[in-house]
Chain A
Amino acid sequence: MLELVDLSHTYGSYRAIDRVNLKVAQGEVVCIVGPSGCGKSTLLRSIAGLIKPTGGTVLLDGKPVDGSPENLAVVFQDYSRSLYPWMSAVANVGLPLRRRGLDKKRRDAAAMAALEQVGLAGAAAKFPWEMSGGMQQRVSIARALAYQPKLLLMDEPFGSVDAQTREELEDLTLRVCAHHGMTILLITHDVDESVYVGDRVVVLSKAPGTVVGDLPVQLPGPRDQIHTRELDAFVRLRAEVGRLVRGMTPHRNTHGFGVETR
């Protein structure tokens, strides 16, 4: 459903990403992992139509993306700049639905249902500044759920919360988002997280970022923070991804991991 063809972007003369090629199928959960500053956010912002890439194309359902595509939601890392502090949680979640032509009652009902799914039914009337970081990020996720996008982009969504909350949110993403049949592209710099959450892990190189690895994750479901992480398969995959992220296997034939090259 999503295809990146030779996607490149340069800021001035600084090349942030370099000819990224990627194909994502409907319903897949793909994690993109790479070192800090390798252009992950640039990649996501190109897909979301927030910047116009200087080279290559983004295709959604075969059509080139121009501006922000329909049926796309984003969960940003910095929830404090993404949730509106002048609105309650339920209003934040319901706001994008105005575009869907729903009346207020329907919007509120949909927003409440989404908040319930992320375990925040009791906090619907709260304002973002009355909530912890983890709760705010749950609201962001609820907003994406209520919007029912076909493609959900997440940019280091759990980068600003403590370790335990992070695990909870990872499980929430797996359970709820995957259940909706959404296609998810989750960006992270955390190797463990990418393997734990993804059906597939795509590794970007140091800047300028380009795809250096594309590994299917075959772990028995349902995943579980303790048991999944101690499986041999998980440990091996994590080591493999870790090496790729650190650029330790530059000559490895990445085609062996199923890189899509057009």
Chain B
Amino acid sequence: MRRATSGVLRFWIVPVTLVVWELLTRATESPYFPPPSRIATQFYDMWLSGPASQLLLTDSALDTFGPSLGRLIAGWLIAGVLGIALGVALGRIRGLSEYTDPVLQFLRALPPPLLVPIFFVLFKIGTPTQLAVIVFGVIWPVLVNTTDGVRAVDKGFLETARVFQFSRYDILRRVILPSAMPKIFAGLRLSLSLALILMVVSELVGSNSGIGYSLLYAQQTYDYAGVWAHIVLLGVLGLLFNALFLVAEGRVLSWHANARRNV
């Protein structure tokens, strides 16, 4: 009964919010808060009125989304690979984490956007700087979770591996990594949402392309419906990435969900 009610509520909450928002913004007529219908029109005109051969995306959409999404995915993947590799090393090599912990805690505490000027100097304006910001900002959840995950491998699993004399590679690849995978995925998921934020931030300060740059341009030309359209776009992208990630996770970790359900 309660589930049914919450299902109905969930279903209605979106249109109700939209209607209230529309009425309020129409009543106040503030230029900074255009009604959602205008935002939607703007969104459609800018990005979704393209030919069917481009999945309805306009040229402007492709030019804007392409570089952004490319950097986001690339930065996230690089951070994922590096984070897992470093996390495994920190978790499994005895003593290493005590040595490196102060440095890592220091680096982790630095807000990535503030590093943009430094990355500028190192890499100049453009993609390398943005990649560096994203990688530096999103590596931490993966690193920390991987370290935790590979440390928490059940002793029984490792003893079995020892008795049957698995090679070091097999112990890592077939025992430690799969066992830590649920934690690693939790880190990767958090990193993905962070990567979206840092992608925009890095484009706001040091870029001449991408969604962040386009958002800045809309703001500077007083196109507030355009600004809101960008915000909606980012929300939609966030939802989309999360949904895709959950599908991938469901496939890789089906054993985990099921094993837990059957306990």
Residues of A within 8 A of B (CB): 48-50, 68, 70, 72-74, 76, 78, 80-82, 84-87, 95-96, 98-99, 127-130, 143, 147
Whether the Cβ atoms of A84 and B157 lie closer than 8 Å is yes
Q: From B252, which residue of chain A is reached at the shortest CB distance?
A: A86
Q: Are B159 and A50 in contact (CB under 8 A)?
A: yes
A86 to B165, Cβ gap below 8 A? no
Bound-state CA distance A85–B166 (Å) is: 17
B258, A99: Cβ atoms closer than 8 Å:
no
Q: Which of B155, B160, B170, B262 contacts A98 (CB 8 A)?
A: B170
- The docked-state distance in angstroms from the alpha carbon of A253 to that of B165 is 41
In the assembled complex, 15 residue pairs joining A and B whose CB atoms fall closer than 8 Å, in A order, are A48-B163, A50-B163, A72-B163, A84-B160, A84-B174, A84-B179, A86-B178, A86-B179, A87-B174, A95-B166, A95-B170, A95-B174, A96-B165, A98-B166, A98-B167
Inter-chain CA distance A78–B159, complex, in Å, is: 12
Interface residue B29 (Cβ < 8 Å from any Cβ of A) = no
Q: How far is the CB of A78 from chain B (nearest CB, A)?
A: 6
> What residue of chain B has the Cβ atom nearest to residue A99's Cβ?
B165
Complex interface: chain B residues within 8 A of A81 (CB): 154-157, 160
B 58-76 to A, binary, CB cutoff 8 A, 1 in contact else 0: 0000000000000000000
- Return the contact of B164 from the options A86, A96, A127 (Cβ within 8 A): A96
Q: How many CB-defined contacts (below 8 Å) exist between A and B? A: 73
Given contacts A78-B156, A95-B170, is CB(A85)–CB(B164) below 8 Å? Answer: no
Minimum CB–CB distance from B80 to chain A (whole Å) comes to 19
Query: Which residues of chain A have C-beta atoms less than 8 A from B124's C-beta?
Result: none
B46 within 8 A of partner (CB): no
When distances are taken between beta carbons in the complex, the residues of chain B under 8 Å from A50 are: 159, 162-163
Is there contact, CB below 8 Å, between B255 and A127? yes
B258 is contacted by which of A74, A95, A127, A147 (Cβ under 8 Å)? A127
CB within 8 Å for A129 and B255 given contacts A50-B162, A68-B163, A86-B178: yes
Q: Does B259 contact A (CB under 8 A)?
A: yes
Can you list the 10 inter-chain pairs with the closest CB atoms, starting with the nearest?
A: A81-B156, A96-B164, A129-B259, A86-B178, A85-B259, A129-B262, A86-B255, A74-B163, A82-B160, A68-B162
Q: B175 near A: Cβ within 8 Å? A: yes
Given A50-B162, A50-B163, A73-B164, 14 other A-B residues pairs in contact with their CB atoms under 8 A: A49-B163, A74-B160, A76-B156, A76-B159, A80-B156, A81-B160, A82-B160, A84-B175, A98-B170, A99-B164, A127-B255, A127-B259, A129-B259, A130-B262
CB of B163 within 8 A of CB of A95, answer: no
For B253, the closest partner residue in chain A by CB is: A86
Contact of A70 among B165, B170, B258 (CB under 8 A): B165
Across the interface, name the chain A residue whose C-beta is closest to B257.
A129
In whole angstroms, what is the CA distance A80 to B260 when docked?
Answer: 12
Interface centre among A70, A76, A86, A128 (most CB of B within 10 A): A86
Q: Is the CB of B175 within 8 A of A99?
A: no
Q: Is B197 an interface residue (CB 8 A)?
A: no
Complex: A147 Cα to B165 Cα, angstroms = 11
Contacts of B258 in A (CB 8 A): 127, 129-130
Contact A85 B255 (CB under 8 A): yes
Q: Are B175 and A73 in contact (CB under 8 A)?
A: no
Q: Mark B174-215, 1 if CB is under 8 A from A, else 0.
A: 110011010000000000000000000000000000000000
CB distance from B7 to the nearest CB of A (A): 30
| A97 nearest in chain B by CB position | B164
Most chain A CB inside 10 Å of its own CB: which residue of B163, B166, B259, B263: B163
> What distance in Å separates the Cβ of B153 from its nearest Cβ neighbour in chain A?
11
Task: List residues of chain A with CB within 8 A of the CB of B263.
Answer: 129
Known: A86-B181, A86-B255. A147 touches B164 (CB 8 A): yes
Interface centre among A85, A127, A128 (most CB of B within 10 A): A85
Q: Are B163 and A84 in contact (CB under 8 A)?
A: no
Partner of A99 from B155, B156, B166, B178 at Cβ < 8 Å: B166
Q: B178: which A residues are within 8 A, CB to CB? A: 84, 86-87
Complex interface: chain B residues within 8 A of A99 (CB): 164-167, 170
Contact with A along B223-263 (1 / 0, CB 8 A): 00000000000000000000000000000000110110011
Instruction: List A contacts of B155 (CB < 8 A).
Output: 81
A86 to B167, CA, bound (A): 18
**A101 to chain B: closest CB distance in Å?**
11
Distance between A83 CB and nearest chain B CB, rounded to angstroms: 8
- Give the CA-CA distance A10 to B256 in the complex, in Å: 38
Closest to B164 in A: A96
